[in-house]
């Protein structure tokens, strides 16, 4: 019961890594509040998580909606001990695609803006809403979802990589800004994880992904959840400003 009676907020908690993290935190005694834009998935996740969990429909890119969510959670539980900034989206495209010397396609500006709004500004929004409460109560833990591509780059992911690299930068800034208030801030950088979305990919694509992982398998959402659990717990009481790779020693291709 490493998180006994801790109040944990998890964005994008209706599926994948977010849901696995919520499950892991509940197992360790936390009161978990998940948010997601998908109401149906959120309510289904809540049924699995049980009585020590709650769900709110929130778009993390909407600053006012985020503030209302955080305020409501504090009104109900009295505090916020852990924030996991997990919500994210993908809109992969090459910056420019050239064929026969002519540009045939480019990343739409709307796709760039959407990924920045959710993956980067969403982390900013949630952290800015939660931090004053953590400062007032004398401490807390903020955990941010980055990615190995935020460290290594990846073909066709200008927007996504920009957000995940930006999250690492913000993590390091906030670890310095909030340290005096006993707030620890860390990031987790997953590799290829077998979420529901990934498992729907063609078999050939999955095989090529596994081939790039020296440990010989895709990660499980629980693998990442366990990393979040360690960083959220008192076992990581002197860990802040870190980026923990959970990737099976992946080699990101070009």
Residue 153: the pLDDT is 92
Render pLDDT for 48-75 as a digit per residue (tens, 0 to 9): 999 999 999 999 999 999 999 999 999 9
Q: What is the mean pLDDT of residues 132-136?
A: 98
Is 228 in the active site?
no
138 Cα distance to chain centroid: 24
Residue 254: pLDDT over 80: no
Residue 190: the pLDDT is 97
User: Tell me, which fold does domain 7-244 have in CATH?
Assistant: Rossmann fold (3.40.50)
Render pLDDT for 145-180 as a digit per residue (tens, 0 to 9): 999 999 999 999 999 999 999 999 999 999 999 999
> Over the Cα atoms of the chain, what is R_g?
18
Q: For the whole model, what pTM was predicted?
A: 0.96
Residue 198: the pLDDT is 83
Report the chain's mean pLDDT, rounded to a whole number: 96
Residue 38: the pLDDT is 97
Residue 252: pLDDT over 90: no
Render pLDDT for 103-122 as a digit per residue (tens, 0 to 9): 999 999 999 999 999 999 99
Render pLDDT for 202-243 as a digit per residue (tens, 0 to 9): 899 899 889 999 999 999 999 999 999 999 999 999 999 999
What are the extents of the domains in the chain? 7-244
Active-site hit among 56, 133, 160, 228: 160
Please answer whether residues 45 and 104 qualify as being in contact, where contact means their C-beta atoms are separated by less than 8 angstroms. Answer: no
Residue 253: the pLDDT is 61
Residue 199: pLDDT over 90: no
Poorest-pLDDT segment among 126-135, 136-145, 190-199: 190-199
Residue 189: the pLDDT is 97
């Amino acid at each position: 019961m490493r998180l006994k009676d801790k109040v944990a907020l998890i964005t994008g908690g209706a599926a994948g890594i977010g849901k696995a993290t919520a499950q892991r935190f509940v197992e360790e005694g936390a009161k978990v509040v998940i948010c997601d834009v998908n109401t149906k998935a959120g309510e289904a996740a809540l049924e699995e998580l049980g009585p020590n969990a709650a769900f709110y429909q929130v778009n993390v890119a909407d600053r006012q909606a985020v503030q209302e969510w955080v305020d409501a959670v504090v009104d109900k539980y009295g505090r916020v001990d852990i924030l996991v900034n997990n919500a994210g989206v993908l809109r992969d495209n090459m910056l420019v695609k050239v064929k026969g010397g002519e540009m045939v396609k480019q990343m739409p500006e709307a796709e760039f803006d959407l990924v920045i709004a959710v993956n980067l500004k969403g982390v900013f929004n949630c952290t800015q809403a939660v931090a004053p409460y953590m400062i007032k109560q004398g401490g807390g833990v903020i955990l941010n979802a980055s990615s190995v591509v935020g460290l290594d780059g990846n073909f066709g992911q200008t927007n996504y990589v920009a957000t995940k690299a930006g999250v690492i930068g913000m993590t390091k800034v906030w670890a310095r800004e909030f340290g005096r208030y006993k707030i620890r801030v860390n990031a987790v950088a997953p590799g290829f994880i077998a979420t529901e979305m990934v498992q729907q990919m063609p078999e050939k694509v999955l095989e090529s992904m596994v081939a790039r992982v020296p440990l010989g398998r895709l990660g499980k959402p629980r693998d990442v959840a366990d990393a979040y659990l360690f960083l959220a717990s008192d076992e990581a009481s002197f860990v802040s400003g870190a980026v923990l790779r959970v990737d099976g020693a992946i080699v990101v291709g070009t």
